[in-house]
Amino acid sequence: MHTIAIRGSTLTFNDNPFAKPIKSCFKYEEDTIIVLQNGLISKIGPAADMLKTLPSDISIQHYRNALILPGFIDCHVHYPQTEIIGAYGKQLIDWLNKYTFVAEQNFRDKSHATKAAKVFLRECLRVGTTTAATFCTVHPDSVDAFFEISEQLNMRNIAGKVLMDRNAPAMLMDTPQSGYDQTKALIARWHGKGRQLYCVSPRFAPTSSPAQMEMTGAVWQEHPGTFLQSHVSENKAEIEWVKQLYPERKGYLDVYHYYGQLGPRAILGHGVHLTEDEFQVLHDTGTAIAHCPTSNLFLGSGLFDLKQAMDPKRPVRVGLATDLGAGTSFSQLATMNEAYKVAQLNGYSLSPLHAFYSATRGAANALYLDDKIGSLEVGKEADIIVLDLNATPIIKYRMQYAKSLEDILFVLMTLGDDRTVKATYVAGERVYSRDAEIENETFVKHLSFEL
């Protein structure tokens, strides 16, 4: 790979502002040069110093009136639900039955899955999301389709086949044995291939029998380094359903605990109605929660208590997530906007620095990937985004009155959307350019296709 450099204002986090004084947790530089080589950040520093040492033949892309950040990370999403985003529904179970389970049956057709994966990953790159932890469907072809496109783009993504053997349409169910066999084969095929990572994916406790839950914990434990994703305590009716299905367990989270599905690299979506005892279990086991504010509001599930989750006495790893398609935007900027409002309704003010941490280094920490992604540091993978501070007329006007970095960030997260993302770099290569899209050029490299 060739060496390139980008220049502009940069923001990155070096520690957790929920646990330490905020001023010690981030680094902001008004004029920085980042050198990208062989997919990694090879050098970074103040432009005045870097210009003295850089070879004259290195191309430098200078982004003015912009902010350079590590790529956004989406900790919980469903790529097969791209086609039902914005579908009118009631609450969780009704929405699953009316839309989700209907749409997912189409993913037995690999060509259908491939098209959806292309659209999903194109949209991720357009909004600056460079890593996503996504559910596929019960069909192994849906996993192959996703990873094939992700690999083509050289993205670091996490995905897995859904495991589901009850309380779902027959066409979407596997068995404990077939789920085990297919999961093992998919792990062998994809985990660690390039930048791809596999995630054992029981949909949620109500759609897996005790036999399948036992198998799920076993297959995850048999493959160290893989991930596990599911859902927990999203909706009050769902919690009561779990109590009926697993009456011998102490609660919803305890189902996963009993079957060996908690621990590092396990991430559970929502956690809206967790108890204090359950937060303690998450802390003790190193299990993460994906905070999905747009989805929780859309389905009326409730308000996740970020302050309680981050209690310094027993902090839980939390990353921000869109949870498409019940989530209503691909954009982590829009998701931060809603996370702020959810916190307000819980009597807690989420600062913009805390919000941006939750979508970058905090999300990487939740996924145990902060040694690879989530910050701008030498040796980290060069997944980088550029946000335009003049993206829209109102943002440009509003920025004239921004007096601090915090003001700038808050404007971006309350007024920003896909138009705010000027460029996206994956493994050191610019794969998306908003201005090229405007000029009707190929705007997502490697993904030219007819919809």
Cα dist from 250 to 244, 253, 269, 377, 445, whole Å: 12, 8, 19, 43, 50
Last residue of a domain, one of 341, 366, 391: 366
Q: Would you state the pLDDT for residue 436?
A: 82
Last residue of a domain, one of 342, 366, 390: 366
Domain contains 444: no
Q: What distance in Å separates the CA atoms of residue 372 and residue 396, rounded to the nearest whole number? A: 33
Q: What is the mean pLDDT of each run of 10 residues along the chain (451 residues)?
A: 90 97 97 97 97 92 98 98 88 81 95 97 97 98 98 98 96 97 98 98 97 98 98 96 98 98 98 98 98 95 97 97 95 98 97 98 98 98 98 98 98 98 97 76 52 39
Instruction: Give Dmax (Cα) for the chain.
Output: 69
Is there a contact between 156 and 428 (Cβ–Cβ < 8 Å)? Answer: no
Do 159 and 31 sit in the same domain of this protein?
Answer: no
Do 82 and 138 sit in the same domain of this protein?
Answer: yes
Domain contains 212: yes
Q: Would you state the pLDDT for residue 1?
A: 57
DSSP string over 86-151: T----SHHHHIIIIIHHHHGGGGSHHHHHHHHHHHHHHHHHTTEEEEEEE--SSHHHHHHHHHHHH
Do 390 and 265 sit in the same domain of this protein?
Answer: no
Do 67 and 179 sit in the same domain of this protein?
Answer: no
Q: Would you state the pLDDT for residue 236?
A: 95
Nearest alpha carbon to residue 201 among 146, 242, 155: 146
Q: What distance in Å separates the CA atoms of residue 372 and residue 101, rounded to the nearest whole number? A: 35
Last residue of a domain, one of 316, 332, 366: 366
Q: Would you state the pLDDT for residue 92?
A: 73
Domain contains 451: no
CATH of the domain at 81: 3.20.20.140
Secondary structure of 356-408 in the HEC alphabet? HHHHCHHHHHHCCCCCCCCCCCCCCECCEEEEECCCCHHHHHHHCCCCCHHHH
CATH of the domain at 410: 2.30.40.10
- Residue 104 sits in which domain range? 72-366
Do 421 and 342 sit in the same domain of this protein?
Answer: no
Do 408 and 354 sit in the same domain of this protein?
Answer: no
Nearest alpha carbon to residue 269 among 93, 133, 174: 133
Instruction: Report the number of distinct structural domains present in the chain.
Output: 2
Q: What distance in Å separates the CA atoms of residue 152 and residue 203, rounded to the nearest whole number? A: 27
Q: What distance in Å separates the CA atoms of residue 152 and residue 148, rounded to the nearest whole number? A: 6
Do 111 and 248 sit in the same domain of this protein?
Answer: yes
**Which pairing describes strands 158-160 and 197-202: parallel, antiparallel, or unpaired?**
parallel
Do 49 and 159 sit in the same domain of this protein?
Answer: no
Tokens for 137?
Answer: 């469907």
Domain contains 232: yes
